[in-house]
Amino acid sequence: MATLLYNNRPARAFNSVLNDMLRDTLPALNEPIKTFVPQADVLESPAGFELHLLLPGVAKEDVKIDFQDSQLTISGERKAPEAAEDAPKFRRVESGYGSFSRTFRLPDTVDVTAIQAELTNGILRLQLPFDSKKVTKHQIEVR
């Protein structure tokens, strides 16, 4: 079966251990973080792959999806809340804001012309169907 490879994956395990160790020793951040790397889940079924990107607070107008040279790139921006003078001040911020980009290498078995994307409730769901015309495995009988 084909494998979907993906790049730009942050070292979440190391980051989470480091965050846990330093949480009580560092002062709380009181302004939004300028980086944002959306988390991704990849599922596979007999019909194809399904890619879920967690994009809370991102409008669909701020998301761009491109395919070129076997790579699917999803980019966009999660805008930080505007800080008005009379608005409440941040006391602690753990959310990330700013531009993001994730790139996924697609196998040849995906029909890129049939990819569908939908953004609902902060989750971008991409359907990556297999190309039924391409054969990845076939046994040839000897006569």
Q: Is residue 139 part of a domain?
A: no
Per-residue pLDDT of the chain (143 residues; tens, 9 = 90+): 556 655 555 556 676 776 666 665 555 555 666 778 899 999 999 999 999 999 998 999 999 999 999 999 999 999 877 777 787 777 777 778 889 999 999 998 899 999 999 999 999 999 999 988 876 666 677 87
Residue 143: per-residue pLDDT: 75
Residue 66 lies in a domain: yes
Residue 142 lies in a domain: no
Determine, yes or no, domain membership for 58. Answer: yes
Q: What is the CATH number of the domain that holds 104?
A: 2.60.40.790
Domain range for 52: 33-80+96-129
Q: 15 is written with which tokens? A: 């980051």
- pTM of the shown model: 0.70
C-alpha 27, offset from chain centre: 29
Q: Return d(Cα 107, Cα 90) in angstroms, integer.
A: 44
Domain membership flag for residue 116: yes
Tell me whether residue 104 is in a domain.
yes
Torsions phi, psi for 60 (to 5 deg): -65, -25
Q: Give the count of domains, the chain.
A: 1
Tokens representing 54 are 């967690």
The answer as to whether 112 is a domain residue is: yes
